[in-house]
Amino acid sequence: MLYRSYGKTGKQISAIAAGGMRLPNPTRHEKGVAIFLKARELGINYFDTAPFYCGHQGENILGEALQSMPVSAEHPTYISSKCNADTASEFRKGLERSLVRLNVSHITFFHIWCVMSPEDWQHRLRKGVLAEASKAKDEGLIGHICVSTHMRGEEIEALVERHPEIEGLTVGYCAMNFPYRQQGVDAARRNNLGVVAMNPLGGGVIPQHPKAFSFLRGSGDPDVVTGALRFVVSDPGITAALVGFGSVQDVVDAVNTVQNFTSHDPARLQEIRDAIKQEFNEMCTGCGYCLPCPQGIPVPQYMDVYNHVQLKETKRDLNDRLHFHWDLSASGAAKCIRCGLCETRCTQHLPIIKRLQTVANIPPSS
């Protein structure tokens, strides 16, 4: 396993981090526990979860797995969790609930979760969330104060520059959306913060289109998933790629991507970035933060179809995606009343309204 320094914390974490969002069957904890134990066996030492993951069972499942993980000062296990409360008192309650569910007395990396905008951040500051996190750190309940955010790169940069007490970030970063976050990642590196990249495979879009993203593969990459993860981990500002595991085999495959790992040289990395900016920037990763829509429009499903528009698929393929994959009609996208709520919530700041119009105008394949 490849390990890297998590910023100024002095901790070495695995370049592949284990995510708890996509664990199978929340009613069968043993399956998720087996995944986490396999990850630890293969050298992963950073385990990320949150209160709402895996049908609200993510923290409980990780807590069970931790009871069977080896305890070693030489090979420590690090826990990451989160709280999205916007007041100090609720943040404290959320932290205490996480400690109970995880069955631990200390969470290594605890995140102020899902910061969507500078206004959202300022609101939480005024309500004392960061101050409460600092208090919890002083009490030994938190090892390091982190922020999980979907803001733009320049907004992340401002947050990092103004708050030296923050020691790490979790940000959406992959070959599809890196231009949104690069400025923030670079700022984190300058300030010696750890950065964990969530959704490094674009929410599954990249592996679903290996031909379109084949340019990500290097000469030694067996598949596009390896190439996509190598692209992320090659960025000098990224500490680890956070991969959501749905099976033990997913763990094995992800760990294999960093065996005998070599980063892209700067010229190759820039070549890939240029290709992405030209062809594949601004694709929706399906996070769902745009919902709910007051018109009941399933926005992420329609944005998935628009991804396929960007991939220049035929009208037959687009209609097949609508009808057979999502059981939708193109006309359903025309229900949009342009209220703009989805765009204010979008973590990637995509022009959703315009894209819904495009999908609504997809001609029938017959």
> Which pLDDT tens digit goes with each residue over 186-241?
999 999 999 999 989 887 778 888 888 888 887 778 889 888 999 999 999 999 99
Mean pLDDT of the chain: 90
Residue with tokens 């394949």: 365
Q: Are residues 267 and 347 in the same domain?
A: no
Least confident of 78-82, 106-110, 299-303: 299-303
With a cut of 70, say whether residue 281 has pLDDT above it: no
Q: Are residues 269 and 318 in the same domain?
A: no
> Most distant CA pair in the chain: distance in Å?
66
Task: Report DSSP state, residue 212.
Answer: T
Average pLDDT over residues 345-363: 92
Domain with 51 in it: what CATH number?
Answer: 3.20.20.100
pLDDT for residue 204: 76
Q: Are residues 313 and 270 in the same domain?
A: no
**Beta-carbon contacts of residue 304 (< 8 Å; ≥ 6 apart):** 205, 284, 286, 321, 325, 326
Measured CA to CA, the distance from residue 302 to residue 282 in angstroms comes to 15
Q: Report if residue 286 sits inside a domain.
A: no
Q: Are residues 65 and 148 in the same domain?
A: yes
Residue with tokens 């700022």: 187
Q: Are residues 232 and 332 in the same domain?
A: no
The number of folded domains in the chain is 2
Last-in-domain residue among 246, 279, 312: 279
Last-in-domain residue among 279, 308, 323: 279
Of 347 and 78, the one with more pLDDT:
78
| Exposed / middle / buried, residue 137 (Cβ in 10 Å: 0-12, 13-18, 19+) | middle
Q: Are residues 122 and 263 in the same domain?
A: yes
Measured CA to CA, the distance from residue 45 to residue 17 in angstroms comes to 7
Q: Report if residue 71 sits inside a domain.
A: yes
User: With pLDDT > 90 as the criterion, what percentage of the chain qualifies?
Assistant: 59
Q: Where are the beta strands (DSSP E) in 116-203?
A: 142-149, 168-172, 194-198
Q: What's the gap between Cα 77 and its chain centre? A: 20
Long-range contacts of 187-193 (CB under 8 A, 24+ apart): 187/153, 187/156, 187/157, 187/160, 187/161, 188/7, 188/156, 188/160, 188/237, 189/236, 189/237, 191/160, 191/161, 191/164, 192/7, 192/8, 193/7, 193/8, 193/160, 193/166, 193/167, 193/168, 193/169
Q: Report if residue 31 sits inside a domain.
A: yes
Q: Are residues 117 and 249 in the same domain?
A: yes
With a cut of 90, say whether residue 352 has pLDDT above it: yes
Average pLDDT over residues 153-172: 95
Q: Report if residue 290 sits inside a domain.
A: no
CB 47 within 8 A of CB 18: yes
Q: Report if residue 162 sits inside a domain.
A: yes
Q: Report if residue 366 sits inside a domain.
A: no
Q: Report if residue 284 sits inside a domain.
A: no
User: With pLDDT > 70 as the criterion, what percentage of the chain qualifies?
Assistant: 99
**Beta-carbon contacts of residue 201 (< 8 Å; ≥ 6 apart):** 174, 207, 225, 228, 229, 243
Cut 0.85: pTM above it: no
Rg, Å, the chain Cα set: 20
Quickly state the pLDDT bin for 151 (edges 50, 70, 90): confident
Q: Are residues 145 and 193 in the same domain?
A: yes
Q: Report if residue 289 sits inside a domain.
A: no
Average pLDDT over residues 32-51: 95
Measured CA to CA, the distance from residue 362 to residue 309 in angstroms comes to 9
pLDDT for residue 99: 97
pLDDT for residue 74: 85
Pick from 131, 124, 121: nearest CA to 151:
121
> Which residue segment(s) compose the domain that 170 sits in?
3-279
Q: Are residues 103 and 7 in the same domain?
A: yes
Measured CA to CA, the distance from residue 243 to residue 310 in angstroms comes to 25
Pairing of strands 3-5, 12-14: antiparallel
pLDDT for residue 117: 85
Tokens matching residue 9? 């914390």
Q: Are residues 310 and 274 in the same domain?
A: no
Q: Are residues 263 and 342 in the same domain?
A: no
Average pLDDT over residues 10-29: 89
Treating both helix axes as pointing N-terminal to C-terminal, what angle do 129-138 and 118-126 enclose, rounded to 10 degrees?
A: 60
Q: Are residues 250 and 340 in the same domain?
A: no
Quickly state the pLDDT bin for 37 (edges 50, 70, 90): very high
Please report, in angstroms and rounded to a whole number, the separation of the first and last CA atoms in the chain: 52
